[in-house]
Structure 1
């Protein structure tokens, strides 16, 4: 775990968030207790406890998930596409080793099958042991097919099709870089059923505008609707996070509030961030974000 220039105190070791270090910005989290630290062969994984955010996981010095605010990301990455689709039976999760996306997907009783593809089994094993509240038993759901493989290779080779594809990737560095290539997006689109939708993790536009712009450029070549929606997650610093949105169904983004409310009620979900009103509002983009989506 990289401490950088952060101080050590009697209360614990300070862990520097390194994502924007080259750009001249960092923040730090106090590791009151390090629970696990290892070079997995794929990534440098650390799980530690912080007094404010609870248990946290970093990969290669970049915050991935915290117990305190994970619900925001996982609810918005999951319920927005599934409820917008309205009839999703088969869902593919690429990445998501902590199990949070999976937890939210299996809360939809209408979903009949979930395939989750994670490149690093160590991430899933550690999260099940050290962050069990995030998956909340979802790995035991009988609808799950858990595959340990390269996500890009999987979508190229599988003959299966899915109504919703959720790409819960790391940032486009290291093992996650391949999940931002046009070849991957094209293969993922080929796995979508008619009317299907893909959602991607696209960083914080204020800090990572080039990342969102690059994905949107590829989506515009592949999908009739290439856009994103936003959610504010405290530990992903620098502003709201963008979730990429790609589909050939032009109606999904404009589902009425009344219809979303009906679907939400029918699903019987109890959420902490997502509401049908938040769903609609998330697609209202600030001008600077619109510039990355449609330059």
Structure 2
């Protein structure tokens, strides 16, 4: 058993006055937010405190949930509120629902300042308990890199959605601008998207003599498509994205990531199962980019040997598959496993890596092909192709960096086997 405990202290709330003093209004809000989050109310109890020194009394209440509880206490004399959400993750992971419930309550109270805490609790398994991530406190946004490490930066939630497939969050951060987070994982940002997207696209695209037709599995933010379109030989980019809400959110809020690529006539968006699309297009793509969530998420099936074999069949002669592997520092076994799977399938596997600020770590990627070997391309050859193709608007990738990306640290090189 393992549970997630979230708390939030709200200061100087600007909500409707009834939400500070009326048990019925507060109960209605809590029930509605619980239902919206997909949690199950069993019962609730409310206490109205009497007036004190001419000030209205606050309200304390608890919703008993099938998953655990929601608790609230209001201080109308100061405009402060404390919130407490706890869920058990015994039979299913309710973490996303707990976060949605807490944030829905926070938004309803409109505080001028919020202090959040996030605790993992109740691990009574036979193995040793894992460490909790750092607390999300005073606007710090946290992502666990591993059971013993986390990365965080200051930010606020601008928008939160729940789709059929995942939770979507649009964050505002001083360092990265707007950030897209899916199921609690940082995906892309306005100010540093080029680290990931340029590295995902250009080492393989430059190594290919003339990429024409490309497939992006995932990639609904449009950043990878925008990079592919810089190559003049590319006349079609298919984005096979499972979640239509990712594409729509990117269109509306992340224009500086895709720069109009989502609506470029050379780009075709296919909403649905990306692997089903792959199976209908054998031997058709010069490049396939796996621009997905991490290999330890629900996208894990697309990193399995059977899925890699299906993608290999969709490559045109001389084509290449590009994917990210995770961090060789924080996910060494995952990186080692994925490289072994690629080597069992493809003749040429070229792992590379770079530090990606939004991910808080050195990150591993790979180009897999039966013929293409981008790490063999010299700096002079890279520069010649960049010039021939008229590619100049780059913030990360250049001729000298191309080779450096494939110069692996010894501990990473050892994972290649």
Give the TM bin, normalised by the shorter chain.
over 0.9
Count of aligned positions: 287
Name the counterpart of 2:166.
43
Q: How does 1:119-138 map to 2 (within 5 A)?
A: 119-138=242-261
Secondary structure of the structure 2 residue equivalent to 1:271: coil
Name the counterpart of 2:148.
24
Gapped regions of structure 2 (runs ≥ 5): 1-95, 100-115, 120-134
Name the counterpart of 2:331.
208
> 1:19, CA displacement in angstroms?
4.1
Q: How does 1:141-290 map to 2 (within 5 A)?
A: 141-159=264-282, 161-238=284-361, 240-249=362-371, 251-269=373-391, 270-290=393-413
**Segment of structure 1 superposing worse, 205-214 or 154-163:** 154-163
Name the counterpart of 2:25.
none
**In structure 1, distance between residues paired with 2:246 and 2:342:** 29
Q: In proportion to residue count, which structure has more helix?
A: 1
**In structure 2, distance between residues paired with 1:87 and 1:229:** 22
Residues 234 and 215 of structure 1, relative CA distance in 2, 3 Å threshold:
same
Gapped regions of structure 1 (runs ≥ 5): none
| TM-score normalised by structure 1 residue count | 0.92
Q: Which has the higher contact order (CA 8 A, sep 6+)?
A: 1
Structure 1 residues 185-224: Cα deviation after superposition (integer angstroms, max 9, x where no partner) = 1011111111111110111111111221111111111111
Name the counterpart of 2:198.
75
Secondary structure of the structure 2 residue equivalent to 1:205: coil
> 1:52, CA displacement in angstroms?
1.2
**In structure 1, distance between residues paired with 2:241 and 2:144:** 23
Q: In proportion to residue count, which structure has more strand?
A: 2
State the Cα RMSD in Å: 1.6
**Segment of structure 1 superposing worse, 96-105 or 241-250:** 241-250
